[in-house]
Amino acid sequence: MVKIADRDWLLAHGRTLTLGGKARLMAIVNVTPDSFSDGGDHVAVEDAVSFGLRCLEEGADILDIGGESTRPGAEPVSAAQEQDRVLPVIEALAKQTDALISIDTYRAETARLALTAGAHIINDVYGLQREPEIAAVAANVRAGICMMHTGRGREVLADPIADQNLFFQNSLAIAAAAQVLPATITLDPGFGFAKETVETNMDLMARFEELHGLGFPLLVGTSRKRFLGTLSGRDAAERDYATAATSVLLRMKGASVFRVHNVKVNRDALAVADAMLAAQARI
- Is 259 among the residues known to form the active site? yes
Catalytic residue among 112, 224, 226, 259: 259
pLDDT at residue 270 in the model: 98
pLDDT one-digit tens code per residue, 123-174: 999 999 999 999 999 999 999 999 999 998 889 999 999 999 999 999 999 9
pLDDT at residue 41 in the model: 59
Question: In the chain, where does DSSP find H-type helix?
Answer: 45-57, 79-96, 108-117, 134-141, 160-177, 198-206, 226-232, 240-252, 263-282
Per-residue pLDDT of the chain (283 residues; tens, 9 = 90+): 787 889 999 999 999 999 999 999 999 999 987 544 554 556 689 999 999 999 999 999 999 999 998 766 667 899 999 999 999 999 999 999 999 999 999 999 999 999 999 999 999 999 999 999 999 999 999 999 999 999 988 899 999 999 999 999 999 999 999 999 999 999 999 999 989 899 999 999 999 999 999 999 999 999 999 999 999 999 999 999 999 999 999 999 999 999 999 999 999 999 999 999 999 998 8
Please give the C-alpha separations between residue 35 and each of 32, 144, 148, 232, 266, in angstroms, as whole numbers. Answer: 6, 24, 18, 20, 20
| Amino acid type, 6 | D
- DSSP for 106-162, please give it: S-HHHHHHHHHHT--EEEETTTT-SSTTHHHHHHHHT-EEEEEP--TTS---SSHHH
- Is 95 among the residues known to form the active site? no
- Report the predicted TM-score, pTM, of the whole model to 2 decimal places: 0.95
pLDDT at residue 40 in the model: 52
pLDDT at residue 67 in the model: 93
Catalytic residue among 107, 225, 226, 251: 225
Strand-pairing partners, residue 188, are 148
Going from N- to C-terminal start, the domains of the chain cover: 7-281
Mean pLDDT, the chain, rounded, equals 94
pLDDT one-digit tens code per residue, 63-81: 999 999 876 666 789 999 9
Q: Is the dihedral of CA 196, 150, 237, 32 positive or negative?
A: negative
CATH number of 7-281: 3.20.20.20
